[in-house]
Amino acid sequence: MRILIVEDNRRLAALVAKGCEKAGFAADICHDLEGAQAALGTARYDIAILDLGLPDGDGLEFLAALRRSGSELPVLVLTARDALEARVEGLNAGADDYLLKPFAMEELVARLRALLRRPGQALGRMLVAGNVSFDTVAREVSIGGVTAAFSRRETDLLEILLRRQGRVVPKDAIEESLYAFGDEVSSNSIEVAIHRLRKRLGEAGADVEVHTLRGIGYLLSPAA
CATH 3.40.50.2300, the chain: domain bounds: 2-116
Q: What would the mean pLDDT of 179-207 be, rounded to a whole number? A: 90
To the question of pTM greater than 0.85 for the whole model, the response is no
| pLDDT cut 70: percent of the chain above it | 96
CATH topology of domain 126-222: Arc Repressor Mutant, subunit A (1.10.10)
Name, in order, each residue with C-beta under 8 angstroms of 66's C-beta and a sequence gap of 6 or more: 40, 73, 75, 94
CATH 1.10.10.10, the chain: domain bounds: 126-222
Q: What would the mean pLDDT of 60-82 be, rounded to a whole number? A: 89
| pLDDT cut 90: percent of the chain above it | 58
pLDDT-based confidence at 92, cuts 50/70/90?
confident
Q: What would the mean pLDDT of 139-167 be, rounded to a whole number? A: 91
Strand partners, 210: 220
* Comparison of pLDDT for 50 and 72, the residue scoring more: 50
Indicate the average pLDDT of the chain.
89
Backbone angles phi, psi at 189, to 5 degrees: -60, -45
pLDDT digits (tens, 9 = 90+) for 4-63: 999 999 999 999 999 999 988 999 999 999 999 999 999 999 999 999 889 999 998 999
How much is the pLDDT for 121? 52
Structural domain 2-116, CATH architecture: 3-Layer(aba) Sandwich (3.40)
pLDDT-based confidence at 176, cuts 50/70/90?
confident
How much is the pLDDT for 124? 60
* Comparison of pLDDT for 166 and 101, the residue scoring more: 101
**What per-residue string of b and e applies to 52-75 under the rule 16 or more CB within 10 Å gives b?**
bebeeeebbebbbebeeeeeebbb
